[in-house]
Amino acid sequence: MSPNAFRLLLVAATAAIAACSAQGSENESYEAVPPADGHGAGHEASPVTAHAAPKDDGHGQPAGDHGDNGQKSAKNAHHDPAHWTYAGESGPDYWAAMSHDFSACSTGTMQSPIDLSTANAAGDVMIQADYRPAFIETVNNGHTVQVNTTGGLSLSNGRNRYHLAQFHFHTPSEHTINGQHYPMEMHFVHKDENGELLVLGVLFEEGASNPNLNAVLESLSRDTYQFDPSKLLPANLDVYRYQGSLTTPPCSEGVNWHVVRQPVTASIAQIRAFQQLMGENARPIQAVNNRLVVRPL
């Protein structure tokens, strides 16, 4: 998309929002529970042992959007020149064939996203987000609207502290509940001092306009912008938790996924504005296989 066309699209998206507005310590022992109905895209969750998942070797670089059994760990992932998309012969069904570096997209056994109703254990996962106003840089990188953050913002899961590198958006949501997509999902990508990734997912539902999303859209036309990412979080941070992967090539595994149960709202106009900027950019649901998926109590 040319710069002039992108500016016109951004102006149109912002105008649509304005018009619409004018109208109106992680627990390590879990209680095993049977999987809920609905296992995502045509697969069944395999039985699992109700214990904490083992620590991963490492995780992928947070730049971009989001190995060797031939799969590389996300820690050592790098961008490949192969041009992947979300449709056609460069879409998700063909990612693995586009580059050897993308082999995990088809051979991986701990891939993301998943249907969260496949949860097979229950437990409290205590997370605390230390987000505050910071300077951000917002870009449309061709795959998503991505907000790069400056240092100092972090999240703790009771064991490790992870530093926020960026957050970005998917329409519709990548994770589902009982097979149902939400209209949008946001991923906060964090990395600890050892290179491990933790991604905090937040689901959006249609409802009241969210002024903080307007701020994100407005920041696209500025070099830098001061913004408080905590404004995008719901009040309750109870989360689903599982071990997964990047949802984009190279689909590297070993990512600590925490998806917040409570959604936040966005207006129809705001959701459409992101759809216009990004298109549909959600990877299909992946098999759970023999994984522990913990739902909040």
- Residue 152 token pair: 């100092």
Residues tagged active-site: 143
Q: For helices 211-219 and 3-22, what crossing angle results, to 10°?
A: 160
Dihedrals phi, psi of 73, to nearest 5 degrees:
-70, 155
CB 218 within 8 A of CB 188: no
CA dist., res. 74 & res. 66, Å (int): 10
User: What single letter denotes the amino acid at residue 243?
Assistant: Q
For 25, counting Cβ atoms within 10 Å of its Cβ (0-12 exposed, 13-18 middle, 19+ buried), the class is exposed
**H-type alpha helices, 139-293:** 211-219, 268-278
